Chains A and B, each alone.
Chain A
């Protein structure tokens, strides 16, 4: 691919499908008033006219799959909740968006929090829950403010609280701010954290659907998954299925970032390609080529320009040897050192490893040691097999997916860029100039005498 891909025959108007983002540019987009002007809470009214089991079946039939990374069918998660068990049921929304590269839920909640709240009411009606939680990562105070307001507005308007819209159902929503821990994006670690403990993952089974929050049946869903539900109810599952593919239907938020001309959120049917997204958004930054990219955050194996035409849906990216993940398309150009990128990600995993299981705790530690040496030109050729071996001892052998995620950049970078690692070792140093990778690298300086 060249830096500015050929213009696609299909126009952005056809390729994109703003649903959740459709009115983010309106003044006061986050208010109940704006949301109601855009058919807000119409999906809830339709849901309340159905039985809870019908709602579960409807969401299942729509084919909606989890948008938090794993892609598990949302309706099926709801169906797993045992009914008539006499225990309280809980819905916990995972808003702990922390996967490197991932930046969709935070702008969604900032601009349109009521989509989430409406989805929560529908979900709680379906699974017979009267108390739901939003676990928001603490490091995003602007979003917390708007969630506080949105929940207050929803109570005042009768969408939350007692006897919602005269249906006889009750729902309380608690907004809970986390305190900085990537591991709390893992659903069982999130539940431990929400119970006031260190955020460490739990052994499964039992799964949260059986013994989740306070050992009660619990659904944990990603923000975008739940926020997509009102549109499915409102516009119909056929409409939803008209987008995407048989196994990956619907729309989703793609987050384009890195050395691209037009970083941002692009809401489109599942299955769009990176070539199409770059084509419509101005491509890579002028004068540069795509070198490597992640399809869904740093935990998904990196891909290269040979994968530009991979359909970005669950099956397509899986077939290319990676995962759709969170659709966080981090694009790096030829100025970027792969070893530097992978070392930094690995330092992240070592920092965020909760310490519960040995392969992840020790493995990420040793990976950092070796990678730093390699990046600094102090590595040896045998280190490359060593890091591959360590990654292999983390992957699939750790307590939770954090370990698998830590292994992904190692495996995939060795697969596509082993020569670059070897160059660091043979040349006894990094051949790249980090200054060339900055966003300001190509800007000419009109005042060279002015020193920064």
Chain B
């Protein structure tokens, strides 16, 4: 869904209902109090409003602007710069497949493509049941566990096509899903609240999945003379048999083809500059 702006002035965004606003005001005060300068609270406040409605709405932008003495334009400028702020509604679980080079080569491209077909949605789209939003993501600092899938920013390490499909099936079935590293999944909105700086109050959330993953300990074990290369990750299932060579999932928001790069229409800057 792409809204085409016609340049018409919009009415001011509606305010939150009174009880929601009272609650958010108390949270906002705490967030702002962490910083010497109130504007520093903008990123956490955007996470906070995202935790209320699941994405950054015009109401959320208005709220942030009012709290910080900014214009809604200033807040919008910031909200649109960062990839973690959703600009439209999404699912309870954001499934992000790393398709940066290393994960892509090791299987991330195949996983993304398989999930795209399995779920019947494209990049950034949400399943009809509102459960899963599929996204390709950039490197998430877990390359020694490649290929990596993040769900609501918890780590699912050493994924395969099969394990990733099972993962999204479990999520859609409403079962409790535990990441390789991180806490049992909560919803996207609950995750956004943690990102706003409000600690996860669930018992066991901090301890979940232990200290370090197996790959993180590879060097330590060798240094202790515990021998042999560490075998990391859960047992992997067999290779997919029916997967096509992957497309380029990270290409969706990069530039489109132009005539200048089209051999069928070799006009444009190249020849104009006499370098063709």
A interface with B by C-beta (< 8 Å): 11-13, 16-18, 21-22, 24-30, 88, 97-103, 105-107, 110-111, 131, 137-142, 144-146, 148-149, 152, 174-182, 193-199, 214, 254-259, 261-268, 280-282, 298, 328, 330, 332, 336, 340-341, 343-345, 347-348, 350-352, 354, 365, 368-370, 372-373, 378, 380, 382, 386, 433-435, 437-441, 443, 445-448, 450-452
- 21 contacting pairs across A/B (C-beta < 8 A): A103-B144, A148-B197, A180-B83, A214-B36, A258-B106, A264-B214, A264-B218, A264-B219, A264-B232, A266-B222, A330-B143, A332-B105, A340-B101, A348-B250, A352-B138, A372-B251, A372-B261, A434-B110, A438-B147, A439-B147, A445-B238
Q: Are A443 and B78 in contact (CB under 8 A)?
A: no
Do A196 and B181 form a contact, CB below 8 Å, given A16-B223, A344-B101? no
- Among B7-15, B37-45, B169-177, the stretch in contact with A: B37-45
Q: Are A178 and B138 in contact (CB under 8 A)?
A: no
User: Complex formed: what's the CA distance from A440 to B230 in Å?
Assistant: 17
Q: Which residues of B contact A258 (CB under 8 A)?
A: 102, 105-106, 143, 146
Do A264 and B243 form a contact, CB below 8 Å, given A330-B143, A344-B250, A350-B255? no
Least Cβ–Cβ distance between A334 and chain B, in angstroms: 12
Name which residue of chain A comes closest to B70, CB basis.
A196
Q: Are A451 and B241 in contact (CB under 8 A)?
A: yes
Least Cβ–Cβ distance between A23 and chain B, in angstroms: 8
Q: Which residues of A contact B114 (CB under 8 A)?
A: 452
Contact of B219 (CB < 8 Å), options: A18, A341, A368, A378: A18
Q: Which residues of A contact B221 (CB under 8 A)?
A: 25
Do A178 and B82 form a contact, CB below 8 Å, given A265-B215, A435-B110, A446-B238? yes
Contact of A24 (CB < 8 Å), options: B78, B143, B207, B216: B216
Q: A13-B223, A263-B146 are in contact. List 11 more A-B contacts (CB 8 A).
A: A25-B211, A88-B36, A106-B141, A141-B153, A149-B199, A179-B83, A196-B37, A196-B41, A434-B109, A439-B106, A445-B239
User: Complex formed: what's the CA distance from A149 to B37 in Å?
Assistant: 24
Name which residue of chain B comes closest to A182, CB basis.
B138
Least Cβ–Cβ distance between B175 and chain A, in angstroms: 20
User: Complex formed: what's the CA distance from A248 to B84 in Å?
Assistant: 37
Do A368 and B209 form a contact, CB below 8 Å, given A176-B43, A196-B42, A267-B220? no
Name which residue of chain B comes closest to A365, CB basis.
B255
Q: Which residues of A contact B146 (CB under 8 A)?
A: 257-258, 263, 439
Interface residues of B in 251-274 (CB under 8 A from A): 251, 253-255, 257-258, 260-263, 270
Do A181 and B251 form a contact, CB below 8 Å, given A149-B199, A281-B218, A351-B138? no
User: Complex formed: what's the CA distance from A257 to B210 in Å?
Assistant: 22
- Among B21-29, B119-127, B154-162, the stretch in contact with A: B154-162
Q: Are B255 and A25 in contact (CB under 8 A)?
A: no
Name which residue of chain A comes closest to B114, CB basis.
A452
Contact-size category for B: 35 or more
List of 6 A-B pairs having minimum Cβ-Cβ separation, nearest first: A264-B218, A282-B229, A262-B229, A266-B219, A196-B42, A179-B82
Q: Are B99 and A344 in contact (CB under 8 A)?
A: yes
B interface with A by C-beta (< 8 Å): 34-37, 39-44, 46-47, 68, 77-78, 81-85, 99-102, 104-107, 109-110, 114, 137-147, 150, 152-155, 158, 160-162, 165, 179, 181-183, 191, 194-197, 199-200, 205-225, 228-230, 232, 236-243, 245-246, 248, 250-251, 253-255, 257-258, 260-263, 270, 275-276
User: Complex formed: what's the CA distance from A181 to B82 in Å?
Assistant: 6
Do A148 and B199 form a contact, CB below 8 Å, given A281-B229, A452-B242? yes
Q: Are A18 and B223 in contact (CB under 8 A)?
A: yes
User: Complex formed: what's the CA distance from A24 to B183 in Å?
Assistant: 18
Q: Are B241 and A445 in contact (CB under 8 A)?
A: yes
Q: Are B43 and A196 in contact (CB under 8 A)?
A: yes
Least Cβ–Cβ distance between A353 and chain B, in angstroms: 11
Do A340 and B105 form a contact, CB below 8 Å, given A18-B220, A198-B77? yes
Least Cβ–Cβ distance between A381 and chain B, in angstroms: 11
